[in-house]
Structures are given as C-alpha cells and as structure tokens.
Amino acid sequence: MIVAEKKISVAEFRQMEFEDEDAYYELINGEVVKKSAPTPLHQEISNNLSFALTAFIRQNSLGKLFTAPVDVYLHEFSHVLPDILFVSTENQAIIHYKEGIIGVPDLVIEIISPSSIYKDRVLKNNDYQAAGVPEYWLVDAKNQAVEVYENLGNAFQLFAFAAETGTIQSKLLQGFSIDITTIFPPEQ
C-alpha cells in the first residue's frame, strides 16, 4: 500500500515553531528543509557578489537586490531563503516590505556549501524552474565555479560557466559581467 505524504502549505509552515535557533527552515515543494547558518566563506562570497551586482543594478536603475535571509514565497508550497535575489523594476509589486517577496524573483543566486549541494542543485533547482525564475546562478565555493542558467520553458539551460578563472555574465542583466576571481577570497 502506498501512503501519500501531505504537502505542507505556506500558511501551515508560517504557523510552525522551530526549536533550533542556529538554523533557518525553508519549505521546498511542501517539504520542510533545515538550512544551517552560513560560514564566513559563504558570507564573503555573498558580499563580493552583492556589491558588484548592487553597483550595476543601481547605476542602471534596474530594480532591487536582496541578500539572505529574506522570505520568498514562490507558490502555495514554497517558502525559500535564497542567498541573493534580484527583483526588476517591472516586477516590484512582489516586494512586500513587511511580509517578504511574494512571487517569483527575476534572478536567484544560491551559494553551494557541502551541506547544501543536493538542496541547491536538485530541490531548489526544480522548484525555481517550475515557478518560472528567469535566471538561476549556482556559486560553488569549493570548486570556485559559477554556473548561470536561463529558464526556457520552465527548464534551466546553461548560459554561462567559469571555474577558477574567467568571466561570467548575466543574460537577464544585460551588460553585467564579473571576473570570478573577484568573487572568491584567495585565502580559502
């Protein structure tokens, strides 16, 4: 006999209480997933990317950039905490300053750590694809690599890739490119 597990909705998730104060929790496709606090390496990578993206976005009046933790409600069964996300000027209606981002951001960036490989590469990847996130970046701290995916018909296709050296660019933020050696701290 097959027993179907009930998906938890965002409304039910918001009612839940969690005892572990050193962790965050996400709701990915109706399933509660624990997210550990970021390491200093993770935070430095996030800061380096955020500073470069923020300067470009502000200079070109493109929208708003947010860094974790910020609540993102993609759909009824999804509450995620992306590391970095961008909402275009045209999509500003999804920003609710007291509640979070209610809808699909234009760009989502996840920084992969050893404990988040499966979650970022599979669970969140699938959720972001299905929700229609236009661009998804995976930043691999261990391998000093960046993958940029564009969403074509709710399926991510690799748009740009660089490892250890090289430049990556955004399809969504036309004109933005970054040398990946400026993202990763040299003394890892």
The tens digit of pLDDT for each residue in 103-113 reads: 999 999 999 98
Confidence of residue 33 (pLDDT cuts 50, 70, 90): confident
Query: Is 56 or 11 the better-scoring residue by pLDDT?
Result: 56
30-44, 95-109, 137-151, 159-173: least confident range:
30-44
38-182 CATH, one of 3.40.50.300, 3.90.1570.10, 3.40.50.720, 3.20.20.70: 3.90.1570.10
pLDDT of the residue at 89: 97
**For residues 77 and 30, is the Cβ–Cβ distance under 8 A?**
yes
* Omega before 69 within 30 of 0, i.e. cis: yes
Give the global pTM. Answer: 0.88
Q: Where are the domains of the chain?
A: 38-182
Section 134-151 average pLDDT: 96
28-32, 100-104, 139-143: least confident range:
28-32
Indicate the residue type of 165: T
User: Is 116 a residue whose pLDDT tops 50?
Assistant: yes
Please tell me the distance from the alpha carbon of residue 49 to that of residue 46, in angstroms, as a whole number.
Answer: 5
Q: What percentage of the chain has pLDDT greater than the value 70?
A: 94
Which residues lie closer than 8 Å to 174 by C-beta, 6 or more apart? none
User: Is 85 a residue whose pLDDT tops 80?
Assistant: yes
**For residues 143 and 163, is the Cβ–Cβ distance under 8 A?**
yes
Residue 75 pairs with which residues in a beta bridge?
A: 78
Q: What is the mean pLDDT of the chain?
A: 89
User: Is 1 a residue whose pLDDT tops 50?
Assistant: no
User: Is 34 a residue whose pLDDT tops 90?
Assistant: no
The string over 166-188, giving b where at least 16 C-beta atoms fall within 10 Å of a residue's C-beta and e elsewhere, is eebebbbbeebebebeebbeeee
